[in-house]
Amino acid sequence: MRVLVTGVKGQLGYDVVNELTKRNHTAIGVDIEEMDITDVGSVDKVIKESNVEAVIHCAAYTAVDAAEDNEELCRKVNATGTENIAKVCKELDIKMMYISTDYVFNGEGVNAFSPDDEREPINIYGQTKYEGELAVENNLDKYFIVRIAWVFGVNGKNFVKTMLNLSKTRDSLTVVDNQVGSPTFTYDLARLLVDMIETDQYGKYHATNEGYCSWYEFACEIFKKAGASMKVTPVSSSEYGASKAKRPSNSRLNKDKLEENGFKRLPSWQDAVERYLKEIEE
């Protein structure tokens, strides 16, 4: 299968291209230099000339706090850009996979959100990703919307790398303990996404590594597995200090639909952290 992957320079796009290639698919990875998703002409030209059977759309504006001051640009990328891709996929009658986020929900309560739960974003980033989902749903039948959360990968910046860098210069830090979710290794995620694009089990899904933790527990696990001596103190997000964008306290995602449609759940997040640390050490 020939598959176009947007956002190839990002953590997930990078791993998706590697996974497709490993399975002998032809992966065409693009970033803004090759295809500006906000430019209708660019999207039309690149997708048509690539002669692909599917698009996995990983590119996004993901600077959550900066989005509050750059709403127009954030919407242009996450909503309009996604709609541009969806319209070409519709015209060509090819599959599209849109990578979305837990931020489309209100982040309240303690129950895991199911794929069809009501969407009620609480910040600009979440709102524009929700609009991207609507663009896919309103234009296509052959689509996957896959919501992910708390990702870390070899390529690019993430929470794990930030914690490891801090451990080189500090011996203590405070980490928020009242936001809960599932850390997710892009290597594991990429394998699942390719499993999915190889089928026609269309619809909305949630995909994260198994298990839940707070950012504080995530940090403690990173330092434990990395053998770093760091004193970590839990604080609430209000104590930590205000961030521009409101953050969800509940990022738990229900992944039952994966198994219901024949896909394998991902390993535990603790297992993922262990493998990831070994990989970035090498």
Residues with active-site annotation: 125
Helix axes 124-139, 81-92, angle to 10 degrees: 10
State the amino acid at position 104 in one-letter form. Answer: V
Angle at 5 between CA 137 and CA 280, to 5 degrees: 120
**Alpha carbon distances (Å) from 199 to 30, 67, 105, 139, 262:** 23, 34, 27, 20, 10
Residues near 81 by beta carbon (within 8 Å), at least 6 away in sequence: 37, 38, 43, 59, 132
Provide the token pair at 268: 């535990």
Residues 6+ apart with CB under 8 A from 9: 31, 155, 156
Q: Provide the 8-state DSSP code for 250.
A: B
